[in-house]
Amino acid sequence: MASPGLLLALGLFMGLSVAAHAEPLDEPLKPLPPVPALDPRRVQLGQRLFHDPRLSVNNTLSCASCHRLDKGGADDKPQSLGFDGKPVEVNTPTVFNASLNFHQFWDGRVDTLEEQVHIVVTSPTEMGSTWEAVVKRIGDDPGYAKDFKQAYPDGVTLPNIQGALADFERTLLTPNSRFDQYLLGNTDILTPREKFGYQRFKEYGCIACHQGVNIGGNMFQKFGVMGDYIADLGNPTRADGGRFNVTGDEADRQVFKVPSLRNVAVTAPYFHKGSAATLEQAVEVMFKYQLGREPVGKDTELIVEFLKTLTGEWEGKPL
């Protein structure tokens, strides 16, 4: 029988990846699931609708106008501009991996992607349209009418438009980040500094809120546990109420859905009003206002290095 060393040498000589045979790590964070198998006709319809400005009242704004797939599925402005050219209330969260969130929107006011589509299309500050108008526009398009009939027995309807958009968004997962490869057993893919950044991320307690497969997106938390960030920032607005605007419960004031940290290095600016311009600033705010701690030495820098390993791929290319 060949020795383990000889087998390793043969594997390297033949170009085989030893890491590919490694066991997945037992960590509190988990790699992304595979893209779900959905009807490709419906997904393709959803992709077209996602880029179609006819969903807005004045044909100027599509989903892709704010959820820019070339900008990490978010926007590069603190607040996106609505159909009327005015800023909306909150920063646009990324659409990538949004299907893994337990609720949608910063204040978590809906549970499903279909409901999220409904709110955005009819919002007086976002798309400003009505479903009656949207269904007519899409139904009057011969290409859409034909393709919807092939994908859905009842053709162009409100639920089918919402369903197609939601199905497309369910395919917007970003696998194969370097950190996912690490979790799957390729421990050599991270540098020692990145690994140490991950350790510090856990040791400081960041992982108490940013956990699970989406590294966030599955719980609510008050923004400013150890200090009033919103008051210190100044110029408060209705959007700062967070969950309070949904429930009316004073305990929910300044409570928001914890955002996913996947692809966080490419989705600046940060927080619900885009108040942190850089990832370093965002980490420093978290240290002060969520943890009530001062980072030791270069720990902010190390955690940022770890966070950059969370950038995944879409259509086979890094975001």
Residues with a catalytic annotation lie at 126
**Could you tell me how many helices (H) and strands (E) the chain has, helices first?**
13, 4
Q: Are 97 and 163 in contact (CB under 8 A)?
A: no
Radius of gyration of the chain (CA): 22
Tokens of 61: 């704004």
For helices 158-170 and 40-50, angle between their N-to-C axes, nearest 10 degrees? 100
3-state SS assignment for residue 211: coil
Rounded to the nearest 10 degrees, how much is the dihedral formed by the CA atoms of 99, 102, 104, 109? 160
Q: Are 173 and 94 in contact (CB under 8 A)?
A: no
Read off φ and ψ for residue 311, nearest 5 degrees: -75, 120
Tokens of 67: 């959820």
Distance CA 32, CA 291 (A): 27
